[in-house]
Chain A
Amino acid sequence: MTETYYAELDERVFRAVLPNGLTVAVVPRPGFSRKMAFLATDYGSIHTAFTLDGVLTVSPDGVAHYLEHKMFDLPGRDVSAEFAAMGADVNAFTSYDITAYHFTCTDHFRDCLSLLLEFVFTPYFTTESVEKEQGIIGQEIGMNDDSADTRVFENLTKAMYAEHPIRVPILGTRESIAQVTPEILHACHRALYAPANMMLCVVGDVDPDEVLEAAKAMSPTDPRPDVCKCTGLQEEMTCPQPLIEDEMDISMPTFDLGFKCEPAPDGEDGIRQEVVGDLAAEALFGESSPLYLRMYEEGLIDSSFGGGFETLSGVSMLNCGGDSEQPADVKEAILQEADRIAREGIPEEDFLRMKRSALGRRIRDLDSFESTCFRTCAYHFSQFDYFRFPAVYRQVEASELQEFLSRVVRPERCSLSIVYSLDKEEV
């Protein structure tokens, strides 16, 4: 494996790409008991349409998540129980653009790793088990329907985007998941769980060569399928619906405010845009910003307020949200503050302090195995080596934030999603 040392972070990373296309990264952490392995595919709920060997497939909404649930089935075996018997904690998640399977363990690492690779690369779906899963996922959808945080964000994406599949909930709907069949799952697996579309990342006190050996032994050597993900049309930079309202049985209205940004390119330019977006969010409404203090003291927002810059394939947005009795006033205050910053700029001293803080937090996050695995994979899929983040921070300049805010934080690029309390709806 190739070894890279990142002096600023005192971090060593081993990497290799297998002949079947699977990328393997190992971040050794000598002296730790815990070990984590993370096997991710560059495939999430937004990738419903793709061509496989030249044939277009449009799969039902929510199928990536459905597939994640069904991957835990192996013929006559209970994968969760096998992990549990080794004392390992196995889990998985599906987001808009990634599906990941991961375990943590302290013992039996090699066996756990082989099992992870085995079950994720072994499609096994019966009609009976696929149908049965509808009950469980139906309950999960019900749970999301009852969650104000999920509802307010899902409504926001519907209001902001005309076409992009981020409009659709990750879990799909009860109707869409009813269309899932073993055949559809097989097609999605063959196309999007091909090793070349995936990455294995391991963090812990492990031998990198042992990881590489296991990955070679347990990942398929079939010829690579010819796959192309359809990412859809480029969206207009305006939001189709400026306001979307809903109501639920909650104690206080909650809101999410989004500003549409140009989609981030892959590679270094992409992460640079993300760092600029993050720092701009901090300068605009972060906890150290003048606006945050003013809104907090006026009671417009409370400690639930937060936000940042989100980016995934074909979509980027600056968003913030929390509980508030006056979400429309929060929106006005943010638009005005962005105007002010665009006019007056950001003092160099403030900018350096924000960079120092953001950098310190990213360094602190490297102590988290979960965050390190996730970021290594997610940035790899965007074709960036995550451990190079300190250099990106060094290069970013205050004027970029100013330019970003004046371009993005505009009324026409904005949608406001509000969920009111059932009994006290505002006019």
Chain B
Amino acid sequence: MIQTIELQPGITLRCFPEHRLRHGCLSIQLLRPMCREEASLNALLPAVLLRGTRQNPDLRSITLRLDTLYGASVSPLVRRVGDCQTTGLYASFIEDRFAMEGDEILAPMVAFLKELLLDPDPEDGCFRRDYVESEKRNLISTIESELNDKRVYAMTRMIRLMCREDSYGVPRLGDKEHACAVTPESLYAHYRRILRESPVNLFYVGSAPAEQIADLLRPMFAELERDYQPFSGQSAFRDCGGCEKCETMPTAQSQLCMGFTSSIHTADPEFAAMQVFNAVFGGSMTSKLFQNVREKLSLCYTVGSSYVGLKGLVTVSAGIDAASEELARKEILAQLEACQQGAITDEELTAAKQALISTLRSVHDSAGAVENYYSTAAVSGLAMTPAEYMAAVEAVSAEQTAAAAQTVQLHTVLFLKGVGA
């Protein structure tokens, strides 16, 4: 289904033909190692690029340009895929056939993306100082605003604690300290460097033929001086020991977060069984955590688990009353133990598999989901198409699920105790 075209060494276009949707998308991602020193630079870069180009020097002229392209959107795209951070742009636009009297959207869209990526409005051979400063403020306030969603905040804190020595402990957008230290000069030097060295992944979903997209995109990179450095690949979790911590915060609700490790990773044959385990344990509304901690014991409104395949981590979070910590914690561990002992009913297994399969089956129904699945797989090393992945999930037995559960061990606990708003 996917057509892959190497535009240049290290510049790869992947196209997914899609004729049923009214809109398509095109993403440009530069691949970087996930590390503290670079994370804020990579997070900041697309935001600064979207502030102005030589021809469209401010936000308003950029928005006007997008309005003319029938409300197309271009947004910063910053992803974390294991040890890789990607930085770039994501464009979404309606298909040419819905435009009025022969208006074109695709070709001018690609030309505009080239302008945004490669032709920033210069100031003394550098990014404009005011744009860098204002986007720094935005980035810092986004980083700080993680405090506003207590569930996300608690989970981020727990992951940082658990992954002190691993790249997974670096926040996706970097930290405030490094963001503050960015200057127009350092950002511009970084920009030139990553354009020169980074692998570039391009992904298109839509009705235009792959060759046409390749022809539209080739000029984008034709004039770039390149010194391509391949991505160094994914590595296992660097464990520096677990711990337990309790802190207070001035909220009504308390947050209990638990981190577990597993020896099963994305590229392992047991990956599908591990995903099934996570769905049985806490990944859905029929999971043991949801059914017992929420429905049976009414201890919380939210409870769930997730599995990070590249690092072999399982995390659990629950929003509870401060007084219920002990009870909730015991119950979460009891449910894990039940999985490990193979106390998994046919209904639980079927529901878990069905939930995973439904998600995978509908990947091809949305441009964004297609882009996300295949772009991420290209970096994570997940070699399965959604159809192959579904078949692997379908084949998982209760025994294999229990065996996957047995690899899961408690590592870190963080309790953020709410002491009243």
Chain A residues, CB < 8 A from B285: 80, 84, 90
A32 engages B361 (CB within 8 Å) = no
Taking a contact as CB atoms under 8 Å apart, the answer to whether B253 and A139 are in contact is yes
Choose one: A139, A146, A296, A366; the contact of B59 (CB below 8 Å).
A296
Find out whether the CB atom of A353 lies under 8 angstroms from the CB atom of B147: no
Please give me the residue from chain A that is nearest to B70 by CB atom: A360
Mark A343-362 against chain B: 1 for CB-CB distance below 8 A, else 0.
00000000001101111110
A89 interface hit (Cβ, 8 Å): yes
In whole Å, how far is A333's beta carbon from the nearest beta carbon of chain B?
15
Query: Which residues of B sit under 8 angstroms from A303, Cβ to Cβ?
Result: 138
A353 with B64: CB separation less than 8 A: yes
Chain B, Cβ-Cβ closest to A422: B250
When chains A and B are docked, how far (Å) is the Cα of A252 from the Cα of B301?
Answer: 27
Which chain B positions have C-beta within 8 A of A10?
A: 22, 98
CB-defined contacts of A424 to chain B, threshold 8 Å: none
B212 lies within 8 A of chain A by Cβ: no
Whether A146 touches B20, Cβ cut-off 8 Å, given contacts A360-B71, A363-B94, is: no
B357 contacts across to A, CB distance below 8 A: 87, 106
Q: List, in ascending order, chain A residues with CB within 8 A of B66's CB.
A: 357
Chain A residue with Cβ nearest B144: A251
Nearest B residue to A135 via CB reads: B298
Contact among B60, B93, B145 for A288, CB-based, below 8 A: B60
Contact A34 to B365, CB < 8 A, known contacts A106-B358, A293-B59, A296-B134:
yes
Specify the chain B residue showing the minimal Cβ separation from A131: B298
Q: Report A277-300 CB contacts with B as 1/0, cut-off 8 Å.
A: 000000000011110110011010
Given A136-B301, A145-B421, A354-B67, verify A297-B94 contact (CB < 8 Å). no
User: Is B145's CB under 8 angstroms from A299's CB?
Assistant: no
A107: chain B residues at CB < 8 Å are: 358
Contacts of A9 in B (CB 8 A): 98
In the bound complex, what is the Cα–Cα distance between A60 and B310 (angstroms)? Answer: 49
Query: Contacts A146-B252, A303-B138: A364 and B67 contacting too (C-beta < 8 A)?
Result: no
Task: Give chain A residues whose Cβ lies under 8 Å from the Cβ of B251.
Answer: 146, 249
Using a Cβ cutoff of 8 Å, how many contacts connect chains A and B?
A: 177
Report the interface size class on chain B: 35 or more
A367 close to chain B: CB less than 8 A: yes
Q: In the complex, which of the residues A290, A303, A356 has the most CB atoms of chain B within 10 Å of its own CB atom?
A: A303
Q: How far is the CA of A284 from the CA of B284 in the complex (A)?
A: 43
> Is residue A170 within 8 Å, beta carbon to beta carbon, of the partner chain?
no
Q: Is the CB of B141 within 8 A of A323?
A: yes
**B162 to A: closest C-beta gap in Å:** 23
Q: Is the CB of A367 within 8 A of B145?
A: no
Whether B94 pairs with A360 at a CB distance below 8 angstroms is yes
Instruction: Select one of B148, B253, B286, B364 contacting A250, CB under 8 A.
Output: B148
Q: Is the CB of A302 within 8 A of B59?
A: no
CB-nearest residue of chain A relative to B75? A303
User: Which of A143, A367, A368 is within 8 Å of B253, CB to CB?
Assistant: A143
A288 to B59 Cα, complex, angstroms: 8
Is the CB–CB distance between A145 and B147 below 8 Å? no
B302 CB–A CB distance under 8 Å: yes
Q: Is the CB of A89 within 8 A of B355?
A: yes
A356 engages B71 (CB within 8 Å): yes
Q: Is A31 an interface residue when CB atoms closer than 8 A count as contact?
A: yes
A96 to B188, CA, bound (A): 48
CB-CB nearest in chain A for B133: A299
A33 x B362 contact (CB < 8 A):
yes
Q: Does A77 contact B (CB under 8 A)?
A: no
Q: Which of B23, B60, B253, B361 contacts A146 (CB 8 A)?
A: B253
Closest Cβ of chain B: how far from A320's Cβ, in Å? 16
Check: A88 CB closer than 8 A to any chain B CB: yes
Instruction: Determine the chain A residues whose CB is within 8 A of the CB of B354 once the complex forms.
Output: 84-88
Docked complex Cα distance between A248 and B291 (Å): 32
Q: Is A412 interfacial (CB 8 A cutoff)?
A: no
Which partner residue on chain A sits nearest B284 by CB separation? A84
A146-B253, A250-B148 given; A366·B22 CB < 8 A: yes
Q: Find out whether the CB atom of A297 lies under 8 angstroms from the CB atom of B301.
A: no
Does A147 reach chain B (CB closer than 8 Å)?
yes
- Determine whether A148 belongs to the interface, using a CB cutoff of 8 Å to chain B: yes
**Which of A31, A140, A353 is the one whose CB lies under 8 Å from B20?**
A31
Contact pick for B67, options A31, A86, A137, A357, CB 8 Å:
A357
Q: How distant is A291 from chain B, measured CB to nearest CB, in Å? A: 10
B22 touches A363 (CB 8 A): yes
List B352-409 residues whose CB lies under 8 Å from chain A. Answer: 353-355, 357-358, 361-362, 364-367
Those of B66-92 within 8 Å (CB) of chain A:
66-72, 92
Residue of A34, A288, A360 touching B362 (CB-CB under 8 A): A34
User: Contact between B253 and A142 (Cβ–Cβ < 8 Å)?
Assistant: yes
Measured CA separation A33–B363 after assembly (Å): 9
With a CB–CB cut-off of 8 A, which chain A residues contact B141?
251-252, 302, 304, 323
CB contact under 8 A between A80 and B286, given known A34-B365, A85-B350: yes
The 7 lowest CB-CB distance pairs between A and B, nearest first, are A360-B70, A87-B354, A135-B298, A360-B71, A84-B351, A251-B144, A139-B301
A-B contact pairs, 21 of them (CB 8 A): A84-B284, A85-B354, A88-B358, A105-B358, A106-B361, A146-B150, A146-B253, A146-B421, A147-B148, A148-B148, A248-B421, A249-B249, A251-B141, A288-B63, A289-B60, A292-B60, A296-B59, A353-B67, A354-B67, A363-B23, A364-B23
Given contacts A104-B362, A146-B251, 9 further A-B contacts (CB under 8 A): A29-B20, A32-B365, A81-B351, A84-B285, A85-B351, A105-B358, A142-B301, A364-B23, A422-B250
- Give A residues with C-beta under 8 Å from B: 9-10, 29-34, 80-81, 84-90, 104-107, 132, 135-137, 139-140, 142-143, 145-149, 248-252, 287-290, 292-293, 296-297, 299, 302-304, 323, 353-354, 356-361, 363-364, 366-368, 422
Taking Cβ atoms with an 8 Å cutoff, the residues of B that contact A are: 20-23, 58-60, 63-64, 66-72, 92-94, 98, 100, 130, 134, 137-138, 141, 144-145, 147-150, 249-253, 284-286, 291, 294, 298-302, 319-321, 347, 350-351, 353-355, 357-358, 361-362, 364-367, 418, 421
